[in-house]
Amino acid sequence: MKAADVRKAYAMPLTNPAYPPGPYRFIDREYVIITYRTDIEALRAVVPEPLEITDPVVKYEFIKMPDSTGFGDYVESGQVIPVRYNGEDGVYVHAMYLDDDAPIAGGREIWGFPKKLAYPKLVHEGEVIVGRLHYGSVLCATATMGYKHRALDTDEIAHSMTKPNFLVKIIPHVDATPRICELVQYHLEDITVKGAWTGPADLELHRHVIADVARLPVLEVLSAVHFIADLTLGMGKVVHDYMSEPA
């Protein structure tokens, strides 16, 4: 293989990448998002500058993705935090747990998503939607929500999804020192919300050394939303380079 051929590679392994090149389109993506109040000091310990915390609030997500180009059928669970950057409201992606290798590899390598392999589930049990996150055999999160109690304006949900998303992309050097450490911004695009509902909800987080969702404790459940949407995961851009700052 010539050096020119190596330079054409976009992902690892060199001759058989773990995922195809984007863009990545998601059909019938089902969300359950529970917004809760947490400890402000706990938030300050995990949200990186130059992002600003707007309120002591976390959004805990369960997302079922039955049809995603290149990534297949999988489920994801995690926490995002409302933040502000340069005067614009957005969300910081703090933690994500999912059950599929390709989006773990692609998400980490391309954007810097903080993804780990785990076993989230989102199921309908009678009149309740139930989300569970297991890391191995250990239960780390349980969410329950009443099924379609009240319809929401789909245009408002779609508009809320257009806010910028932020995450920290970290890639080490071969000696394990930081090689890339960047604040990345991305958007969801071509959004169609097919239905949206709210209802009563509850959320319980359990302590775990690796899946540490309980680091941001639930003090009060504020609201919950359940919706189904088609969307495209847009490519990112670097908005801050931590490696360029003085030591």
3-class SS of residue 205: strand
Average pLDDT over residues 83-104: 97
The first and second tokens of residue 68, run together, are: 């995603």
Q: Quick one: which of 102, 94, 77, 82 has its CA closest to 22?
A: 102
Q: How many CB atoms lie within 10 A of CB 174?
A: 6
pLDDT value, residue 127: 97
- What's the CATH number for 22-244? 2.40.400.10
Q: Which of 44-47's residues contact partners 24+ apart within 8 Å by CB, and which partners?
A: 46/81, 46/94, 46/215, 46/216, 47/81, 47/83, 47/92, 47/94
* DSSP letter assigned to residue 155: H
Distance from C-alpha of 77 to C-alpha of 188, rounded to nearest angstrom: 17
| pLDDT at residue number 223 | 98
What b/e sequence results for 7-23 when a residue is b if at least 16 CB atoms lie within 10 Å of its CB, and e otherwise? Answer: eeeeeeeeeebebeebe
State the average pLDDT over residues 145-174: 97
Report, as an integer, the average pLDDT of 240-245. Answer: 91
The reported pTM is: 0.95
Residues catalogued as catalytic: 115
pLDDT (tens digit per residue) in 23-48: 899 999 999 999 999 999 999 999 99
From CA 74, how far away is CA 80, in angstroms rounded? 19
Q: Using one digit for the tens of pLDDT, what is the confidence trace for 176-232?
A: 998 999 999 999 999 999 999 999 999 999 999 999 999 999 999 999 999 999 999
Residue 247 is predicted with a pLDDT of: 62
Pair of tokens at residue 93: 């992606």
Question: Per-residue pLDDT tens for 97-155?
Answer: 999 999 999 999 999 999 999 999 999 999 999 999 999 999 999 999 999 999 999 99
**245 — pLDDT class (breaks 50, 70, 90):** confident
User: 């310990």: which residue's tokens?
Assistant: 45
